[in-house]
């Protein structure tokens, strides 16, 4: 876990130092493609594992519950952050 956190931190620091570099502006264009490719490979690995495929019904319910809870919590917290930090005094 520490190696992952240190890798992310190193990327943030390097991005901050090199933020004026033209190369990094082109990296933003490839992020969506990279995420889609990673999700596709994840789907391949799930489909390849017979244990997961056999128990997909029970895993599916848990995954749905976790997804709904995560989305709900994110929306509520984003709303609170907006109200606390970004809303102007005259608006309701």
The CA angle 28-31-32, to the nearest 5 degrees, is 120
Consecutive 10-residue runs of the chain (92 residues): their mean pLDDT? 92 88 77 91 92 83 91 96 79 51
Amino acid 91: pLDDT: 52
pTM: 0.49
Give yes or no for a contact between 23 and 15, defined as CB atoms under 8 angstroms apart.
Answer: no
Sign of CA dihedral 62, 63, 69, 72: negative
Amino acid 86: pLDDT: 86
The answer for 91, left when phi > 0, alpha when psi is -120 to 50, beta otherwise, is beta
Report d(CA 20, CA 30) in Å as an integer. 18
């Amino acid at each position: 876990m520490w190696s992952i956190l240190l890798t992310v931190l190193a990327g943030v620091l390097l991005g901050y130092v090199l933020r004026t570099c033209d190369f990094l502006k082109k990296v933003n264009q490839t992020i969506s493609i990279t995420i889609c490719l990673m999700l596709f490979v994840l789907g391949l690995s799930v489909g390849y594992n017979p244990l997961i495929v056999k128990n997909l019904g029970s895993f599916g319910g848990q995954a749905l519950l976790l997804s709904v809870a995560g989305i709900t919590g994110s929306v509520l917290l984003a709303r609170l952050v907006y109200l606390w930090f970004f809303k102007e005094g005259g608006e309701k």
